[in-house]
Amino acid sequence: MSAEHDTLLQHDQDFFDALVAGDAARLADLLTDDFLLVGVEDGVVAGKDVLLELVGSGALRFPGIDAFPGEAVVRFFGDAGVVVGRTAMRFTQDGGPGFGAGSRYTHVYAADGRGGWRLASAQGTAIKP
């Protein structure tokens, strides 16, 4: 495994940790300005500003995210990196009841020009029991 492989898996974990911590400032650093998220439960597309507002305000909370980096597939295409992985997430929205989802996700990273990577796109697909 290459150092870049490990770096992207760590970036994935940093993203999940920032969601659990409700740390919008950390998320802002991890994401590209034009970041897009496709929701695992409903397929809704949200930009960076929407995600930061929801997480920063506490309207969207992630009490726990379990990742399985040993199962992840990491690939590189020039200045892009792609991680396909699996999570088990617990979350609440707008103070409602919590719910969970197992998902496969695809994260697309862009080289940031400073030797690092930023998350440009995230999409989850629910794993049905």
Q: What does pLDDT average to over the chain?
A: 91
- ∠ Cα 36 109 125 (to 5°): 55
Check whether 4 has a pLDDT greater than 70: yes
Q: How far is CA 50 from CA 23, 36, 40, 44, in A?
A: 14, 10, 16, 11
Q: What are phi and psi of 127, to 5 degrees?
A: -95, 115
* pLDDT digits 0-9 by tens, 62-98: 889 999 999 999 999 999 999 999 999 887 777 667 7
Report which of residues 103 and 121 the model is more confident about. Answer: 121
Check whether 127 has a pLDDT greater than 70: yes
Output the pLDDT for position 1.
59
Check whether 14 has a pLDDT greater than 70: yes
- Our CA dihedral for 42, 5, 114, 53, rounded to 10 degrees, sits at 20
CA proximity to 62, closest of 94, 103, 21: 21
Check whether 99 has a pLDDT greater than 80: no
Output the pLDDT for position 75.
97
Report which of residues 68 and 101 the model is more confident about. Answer: 68
Q: What are phi and psi of 98, to 5 degrees?
A: -75, 155
Could you give the CA distance from residue 78 to residue 113 in angstroms, rounded to a whole number?
A: 12
State the average pLDDT over residues 15-38: 96
Output the pLDDT for position 16.
95
Q: Which domains does the chain have, with CATH numbers?
A: 3-126 (3.10.450.50)
Query: 90 pairs with which residues across the strands?
Result: 64, 100
